């Protein structure tokens, strides 16, 4: 006897910063579609995201993305059982544009609306790994969690203990700048275009062979000491990079220096993660580590974490590259598995995770 119940899906919106996205994700974890519009070219001329410009850009493309999404919904043989949207943290104008549209659509269709914390979306991005195919999103969450999570993005750097309903406890966080911010601002000091993280990675990838590597290692940068034993700090590293470039401006476009910058940021991030693990291992015994957020797209950092995980005999999972940066599929995944009490209302949009 076959199951005749219709396939269920959640339609999700993401607009917390400079990507506008709408995705439909089934309870099975299949991403039926995702329409995404990036504002990178718009903000590149300013060297970073301008909130008012971002708000207007979201507003200008949302109608087109929604029209495409509704047309695809007509041919999808399933049932939309809910609408979700990022409610915070993020830029308040862009958040209002996306979430207001999503809440209106939920009301019009007579389905529930779920407000998702942006960082919980990143936590849920690991659930979209195709290697977990055959399990529903909730079953995937039960398989992977509880787990240690390193979340590193342009605005956040944290180590968390996360449960299967995406409730979490922060074990360590940055005392100043985030890892992604350090990448972007270091790139700006080097004269590289926005967004800086991928530009540093591309330039550093040109370091090939032992001779190039030895030269890159000679540009060692002093790593800052975090204020707390298990935390992170990146502000001092930015200062060290600025001072080096003031003394040696010719290094701004040098692949070896880009490699040294990337290596220092990675070392600071991995070092903080190790300290957090050492301090909290007795109280949180999971052997699974998840690495998510925009910085998880950095291949050099992924490789370093994989080496550490192999040595420590722990399981390491990272999201597919296409779901590392901001997207709506991860918001839908979070809406499927998070505990109902974690849903955010408008007035709670700025609360910490």
Q: What is the mean pLDDT of the chain?
A: 91
Q: Mean pLDDT check: name the lowest of 51-55, 88-92, 209-213.
A: 209-213
User: Between residues 6 and 13, which one has the greater pLDDT?
Assistant: 13
Instruction: Give the model's pLDDT for residue 186.
Output: 93
Q: Name all domains of the chain by residue range, CATH numbers in brackets.
A: 7-129+321-348 (3.30.420.40), 172-317 (3.30.420.40)
Give the mean pLDDT of 290-300: 93
Q: What does the pLDDT look like over 221-254, one tens digit per residue? A: 877 666 556 678 888 888 899 999 999 999 998 9
The model's pTM is 0.92
Q: How far is Cα 191 from Cα 208, in angstroms, rounded to an integer?
A: 22
Query: Does residue 280 surpass a pLDDT of 80?
Result: yes
% of the chain at pLDDT higher than 70 = 95
Instruction: Give the model's pLDDT for residue 219.
Output: 83
Which of 15-24, 150-159, 221-230, 298-307 holds the top average pLDDT?
15-24
Q: Mean pLDDT check: name the lowest of 99-103, 258-262, 343-347.
A: 343-347
**Rounded to whole angstroms, what are the CA distances from 56 to 97, 284, 315?**
9, 44, 42
Residues facing residue 169 across a β-bridge? 161
Instruction: Give the model's pLDDT for residue 1.
Output: 39
pLDDT band at residue 19 using 50, 70 and 90 as cut-offs: very high
Instruction: Give the model's pLDDT for residue 227.
Output: 58
Query: Does residue 146 surpass a pLDDT of 90?
Result: yes
Query: Does residue 217 surpass a pLDDT of 60?
Result: yes
% of the chain at pLDDT higher than 90 = 69
């Amino acid at each position: 006897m076959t199951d005749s119940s219709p396939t269920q899906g959640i339609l999700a919106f993401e607009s917390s910063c400079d990507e506008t996205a709408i995705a439909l994700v089934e309870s099975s974890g299949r991403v039926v579609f995702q329409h995404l519009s990036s504002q990178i070219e718009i903000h590149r001329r300013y060297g970073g995201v301008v909130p008012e410009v971002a708000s207007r850009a979201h507003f200008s493309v949302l109608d087109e993305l929604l029209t495409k999404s509704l047309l695809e919904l007509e041919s999808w043989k399933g049932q939309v059982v809910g609408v979700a949207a990022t409610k915070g943290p993020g830029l308040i104008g862009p958040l209002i544009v996306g979430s207001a549209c999503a809440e209106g659509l939920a009301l019009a269709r007579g389905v529930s609306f779920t407000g998702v914390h942006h960082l919980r979306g990143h936590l849920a991005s690991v659930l979209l790994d195709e290697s977990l195919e055959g399990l529903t999103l909730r079953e995937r969450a039960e398989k992977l969690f509880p787990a240690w999570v390193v979340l590193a993005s342009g605005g956040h750097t944290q180590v968390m203990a996360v449960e299967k309903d995406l409730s979490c406890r922060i074990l360590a966080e940055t005392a100043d700048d985030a890892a992604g911010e350090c990448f972007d601002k270091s790139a700006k000091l080097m004269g590289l275009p926005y967004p800086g993280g991928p530009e540093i990675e591309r330039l550093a990838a040109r370091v090939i062979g032992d001779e190039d590597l030895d030269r890159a290692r000679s540009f060692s940068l002093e790593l800052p000491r975090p204020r707390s034993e298990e935390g992170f700090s990146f502000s001092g590293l930015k200062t060290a990079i600025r001072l080096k470039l003031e003394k040696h401006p010719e290094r701004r476009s040098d692949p070896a220096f880009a490699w040294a910058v990337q290596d220092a940021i990675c070392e600071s991030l991995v070092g903080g993660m190790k300290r957090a693990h050492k301090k909290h291992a007795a109280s949180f015994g999971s052997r699974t580590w998840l690495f998510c957020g925009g910085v998880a797209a950095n291949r050099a950092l992924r490789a370093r974490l994989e080496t550490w995980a192999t040595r420590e005999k722990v399981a390491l999972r990272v999201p597919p590259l296409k779901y590392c940066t901001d997207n709506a599929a991860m918001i839908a995944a979070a809406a499927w598995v998070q505990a109902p009490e974690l849903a955010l209302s408008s007035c709670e949009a700025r609360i910490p995770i």
